[in-house]
């Protein structure tokens, strides 16, 4: 696989990740599964309009599919970072296959009700919640970081090929066979994914002799990483504002087609299919555009186009006009979301990727679910057309966030593991769970450099906290203004050893920039301290401190 990735990286073609066998097999299987998912989406939305004329209940179909992501994404992301991702994907995909089969059987027996439809849809959403973070996290592992933007674009294209083909097929099945066929086909669509995953052998990035992380500790470390990563926070803020407003398209489209335009299932499939065609076209055109246009500019332009699409849907006189608008809106939707996805993934080191991406998905699907409820209720209150126009204005207002929250660009090589800290020099190995661990680093600084050194150390603080430290501080000697002590705390000895392994070349550069101010003889002195209970140490044989003057 490594050779294939290297060969792919040597080409400038946007399709080079497909030369990697494992990536290609999972991509094809995933696209087939996504087609089944869209066939299900069309069937579920249309069945609900057959059971009720409430815009709120129709919008709840989307909410029930996305709320599980909001509730379970963080848990799923942590699990995906500490277990075999292949087995997790197999379990999640198998669950969704059984759930889809159950809905097909219920519909065939004529026992489907609004509540049962929502429950089955939510159960499918639970499977997606546990599958999505692991699926997203393996993309850089399969394609390599150098090909990440291309791999994400290809994944987006596959998803939107399914978005184009699935609704058309779903509308055809609704019109000719009935919704049972939609749900049954969705159940069968998981077969390819299960076969490919059954044959694939996952190999995690990086080697470690340390035991797997515990769930709660991994959860806390992931939360600290997100909290102290400004660039990742920018992706979440921008993504939340866009999705919360843009979700009106999916929440209200069935209502627009059926009640405002008076079209049948074929018309609904036409509009959703046109949206997918626009998205596929955009995915095809994006790679060369990304080389010339920044992610910030691209997302602002595409968001503006999507806002116009929402307004166009509000005033569309017929299904064909809505389909024309959908083609443009689909391209804009794909452009915005794939840009956010690339920005999120390209800035994450491998050790925290699934956890951080689960937070991004939490924001994304939470926005979809919350937006669906908001726009459904608004449509009931002020009318579908007015709700869509308000949503269009909301997308436009959300663009103001681009002024403060910039996506920027990260060199993938800066996230490669550096492991530049040597092993601590200790007398006896402490018990792994003993802690917390206090580390001090002593610097000698020219007092005239104090302000510049302080600015450099603020970046060091974020670096320490992103890698797992629970506290950080910088102290100066009141009697010696050139003497500074940096102190940071890790939860336990094993977490401190993991801190060593989590460091990247980006962290190395941050440390080197700060240490450039050091004026002492030799490198800054580093000392490790283990917590000592006031009423007796838990492990008295372990050392209370160690020094490493070479770090």
Query: What's 480's domain CATH number?
Result: 3.30.70.100
Planar angle of CA 479, 485, 490, nearest 5 degrees: 150
Q: pLDDT tens digit string along 479-497?
A: 998 999 999 999 999 999 9
Among 215-219, 298-302, 514-518, whose mean pLDDT is lowest?
A: 215-219
Does one domain contain both 349 and 325?
A: yes
Strands 545-548 and 480-490: unpaired
Mean pLDDT of the chain: 84
Structural domains in the chain (count): 2
Kindly state whether residue 122 falls inside one of the protein's structural domains. yes
Domain check: are 425 and 521 in the same one?
A: yes
Q: Are residues 185 and 308 in the same domain?
A: yes
**Last residue within a domain, chosen from 381, 413, 445:** 413
- 120 is in which domain, residue-wise? 2-200+214-413
- Identify whether residues 276 and 320 lie together within a single domain: yes
CA dihedral (505, 354, 162, 343) positive or negative: negative
Judged against a pLDDT cut of 60, whether residue 122 lies above it is answered with yes
313 and 181 fall within a common domain: yes
Domain identity same for 99 and 226: yes
Beta strands 545-548 and 471-477, pairing class: unpaired
345 in a domain, yes or no? yes
More confident residue, 10 or 399: 399
| 354 and 253 co-located in one domain | yes
What confidence category does residue 551 fall into, taking pLDDT thresholds of 50, 70 and 90?
A: very low
Q: What is the pLDDT of residue 389?
A: 95
Determine which of 238-242, 265-269, 469-473, 489-493 has the lowest per-residue pLDDT on average.
Answer: 265-269
Sign of the CA dihedral 138, 141, 142, 145? positive
Question: Which one of 380, 413, 446 terminates a domain?
Answer: 413
Does 422 share its domain with 394? no
Residues 85 and 124 in one domain: yes
Q: Tell me if 187 sits within 8 A of 104, measured CB to CB.
A: yes
Given this model, what pLDDT does residue 460 score?
96
Q: Are 457 and 372 part of one and the same domain? A: no
Helix axes 21-51, 248-255, angle to 10 degrees: 50
Q: What is the mean pLDDT of residues 151-158?
A: 73
Query: Is residue 426, in this structure, part of any structural domain at all?
Result: yes
pLDDT of residue 164: 67
The verdict on 440 and 361 lying in the same domain is no
Mean pLDDT (whole number) for 453-466: 95
207 found inside a domain: no
Predicted pLDDT of residue 533? 66
pLDDT at 486: 96
Give the C-alpha separation, 262 to 429, whole Å.
74
Q: Determine the Cα–Cα distance for residues 160 and 373; give it in Å rounded to an integer.
A: 24
More confident residue, 142 or 389: 389
pTM of the model: 0.75
For residue 151, is it within any domain? Answer: yes
| pLDDT at site 204 | 61
Residue written as tokens 């008076």? 262
Predicted confidence band at 23 (pLDDT cuts at 50, 70, 90)? confident
> Going by DSSP bridges, is the β-strand pair 545-548/437-444 parallel, antiparallel, or unpaired?
unpaired
397 and 422 part of one domain: no
Tens-digit pLDDT profile for residues 76-119: 888 988 888 888 999 999 999 999 999 999 999 988 888 899 99
Last residue in a domain, options 386, 413, 440:
413
Confirm whether 486 is domain-assigned: yes
CATH classification of the domain holding 311: 1.20.1250.20
In a domain, 525, yes or no: yes
For residue 389, how far is the Cα from the chain centroid?
A: 29
Comparing 142-151, 269-278, 393-402, the range with the smallest average pLDDT is 142-151
Taking the CB of residue 208, how many other CB atoms lie within 10 A of it?
A: 12
Using CA atoms, how far residue 38 sits from 59, 105, 109, 130, 457, in Å, is 16, 19, 22, 19, 50
Q: What sections of 109-229 are H helices per DSSP?
A: 114-143, 148-176, 179-199, 215-227
Phi and psi, residue 26, nearest 5°: -70, -35
């Amino acid at each position: 696989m490594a050779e294939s990735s290297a060969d792919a990286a040597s080409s400038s073609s946007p399709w080079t990740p497909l030369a990697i066998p494992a990536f290609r097999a999972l991509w094809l299987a995933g696209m087939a599964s996504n087609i089944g998912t869209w066939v299900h989406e069309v069937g579920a939305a249309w069945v609900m309009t057959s059971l009720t004329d409430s815009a709120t209940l129709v919008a709840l179909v989307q909410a029930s599919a996305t709320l599980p992501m909001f509730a379970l994404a963080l848990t799923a992301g942590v699990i995906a970072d500490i277990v075999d991702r292949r087995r997790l994907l197999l379990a999640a995909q198998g669950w969704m296959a059984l759930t889809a089969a159950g809905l097909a059987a219920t519909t065939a027996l004529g026992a489907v009700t609004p509540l049962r439809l929502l429950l089955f849809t939510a159960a499918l959403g639970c499977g997606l919640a546990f599958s999505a973070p692991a699926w997203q996290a393996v993309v850089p592992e399969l394609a390599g970081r150098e090909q990440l933007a291309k791999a994400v674009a290809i994944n987006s294209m596959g998803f939107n090929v399914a978005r184009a083909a699935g609704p058309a097929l779903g509308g055809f099945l609704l019109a000719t066979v009935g919704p049972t066929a939609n749900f049954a086909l969705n159940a069968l669509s998981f077969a390819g994914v299960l076969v490919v995953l059954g044959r694939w052998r996952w190999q995690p990035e990086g080697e470690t002799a340390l035991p797997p992380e515990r769930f709660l500790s991994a959860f806390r470390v992931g939360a600290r990483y997100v909290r102290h990563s400004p660039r990742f926070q920018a992706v979440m803020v921008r993504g939340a504002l866009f999705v919360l407003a843009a979700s009106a398209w999916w929440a209200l489209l069935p209502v627009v087609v059926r009640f405002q335009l008076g079209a049948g299932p074929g018309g609904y499939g036409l509009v959703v299919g046109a949206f997918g065609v626009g998205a596929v076209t955009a995915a095809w055109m994006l790679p060369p555009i990304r080389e010339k246009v920044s992610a910030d500019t691209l997302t602002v332009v595409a968001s503006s186009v999507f806002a116009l699409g929402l307004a166009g849907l509000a005033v569309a006189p017929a299904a064909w006009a809505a389909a024309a608008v959908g083609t443009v809106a689909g391209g804009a939707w794909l452009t915005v979301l794939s840009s956010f996805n690339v920005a999120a993934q390209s800035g994450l080191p491998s050790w925290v990727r699934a956890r951080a991406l689960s937070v991004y998905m939490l924001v994304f699907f939470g926005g979809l679910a919350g937006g669906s409820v908001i726009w459904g209720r608004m449509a009931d209150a002020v009318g579908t057309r007015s709700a869509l126009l308000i949503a269009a204005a909301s997308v436009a207002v959300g663009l103001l966030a681009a002024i403060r929250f910039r996506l920027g660009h990260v060199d993938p090589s800066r996230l490669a593991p550096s492991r530049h800290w040597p092993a601590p020099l200790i007398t006896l190995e402490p018990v792994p769970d003993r802690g917390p661990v206090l580390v001090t680093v002593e610097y000698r600084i020219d007092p005239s450099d104090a302000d510049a050194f302080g600015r450099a150390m603020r970046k060091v603080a974020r670096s320490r906290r992103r890698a797992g430290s629970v506290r950080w501080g910088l102290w100066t000697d009141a009697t010696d203004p050139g003497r500074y002590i940096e102190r940071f705390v890790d939860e336990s000895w094993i977490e401190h050893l993991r801190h060593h392994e989590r460091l990247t070349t980006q962290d190395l550069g941050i440390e080197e920039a700060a240490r450039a101010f050091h004026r002492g003889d030799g490198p800054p002195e580093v000392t490790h301290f283990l917590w000592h209970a006031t009423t007796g140490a838990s492990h008295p044989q372990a050392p209370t401190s160690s020094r490493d003057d070479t770090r």
